[in-house]
Structure 1
Amino acid sequence: METVPMTEVPRTALRRYYDELMQPAFAPAELMTWDELDEALASRGTEGLLLLDDGEPVAGLVTEDYLDASLLLLAYVVVSSGHRGQGLGSRLIRRAVGHEPRLVLAEIEDPRFHEAHEHGGDPSARVRFYDRLGSHLLAIPYTQPSLRPGSPRVDDLLLITIPSAAPPAEVDGGLLRAFLDEYYGACEGEDVVVGDPSYRALRGSVPDRLPLSRLDELDLARPGPSA
């Protein structure tokens, strides 16, 4: 198997990765469209890696820069159903962010609110995967912004850290609020950042210093559905 930047693989292989791996793994509201992925990879700030087995995509990831590249979002990681359990996801993540000196974040579904679904996602399995990887929870009630007009926000997500070369003992709340401002502003517009009550409540939940919590401490992010 070989690991190749998405910008260096044939477009037919990249399109197969999107159609056969990404689309089945994520609900539409969580997933960029093919045109959005194609456009993002052609611009600065978005990068991707594909793991190819005899030319066929079996795993891949996409990252996005924020705050003038001072923070990295691991936007998507997916491994084909026939290649799971072989450590390929961990291999890709270590290749992409293992040497990063900056904060690396990811969004995953809270398994207490999101069940395994037809799109191929298993929230409980993702939490276990990232826990084995050494990730930590940021204890805020995170919601993903709407990725495009007409697409809903995705509630009840978890915002987590991804292990990198210099993992922090805690996260600077000012940095995290600035990331949220840029992310929501890019997706939904600056008016939302300034005046949307739901977004302002999310932003206001970020303390000045945010300790890293274990991934099994989900109640720190939000009460469970039975609370």
Structure 2
Amino acid sequence: MELIYYIDLLGAMVFAISGAMAASRHGIDIFGAAFTGFVTAIGGGSLRDIFLNLRPVWVNDGNYLIAILAGVLIAVLFKKVLDKLARTLFLFDALGIGFFTVVGVQKSLLFEASGIAAVVLGMFSAVMGGVIRDTLLNETPLILRKEIYATACLSGAILFVLLDMGGVNYNLNAFLSASLVSVIRVIAVRYQLTLPIVGG
């Protein structure tokens, strides 16, 4: 469980970097970039916790705010370097949504959500921060485009629930489920795989 905690912190930092960089590409000032990074990092997890009738984790644990602040500072201070590492950041993002999905599912099950609800909340944990970010930046959220994004999270969340029901070791389950999300996302982008358009 301790490993997942630190992975969750790392994910928050990576998502903060992603949000702040997205804002900087729109010519937004440093406060706006920091705010965008913040909501990108905490949006999905906060929504999940609200649905579970819990106080959002970052309210009780200041380490999340430190991780988010670190992410924003990295995005601001090393913007030119990070712009050249777009592919590397994409890989971190793919890993981030994988582990955010797992953390969301695991926490939902811990607080007695049904398996189906845990799958949905796991997906929310991973994608809703990005939805809020894109909405603030007046872009079509990634989840509403043809890209395979939320679908990858749902796949990993379903695998986690099934393996959990089968009594698979938690750490192994987390690794396999997060890896499935990340691999699907990377393959989809690499080979430009998309979902069919409604009515298309």
| Shorter-normalised TM range | 0.3 to 0.5
Structure with the higher fraction of residues in strand conformation: 1
TM-score in terms of structure 1 length: 0.32
Structure with the higher fraction of residues in helix conformation: 2
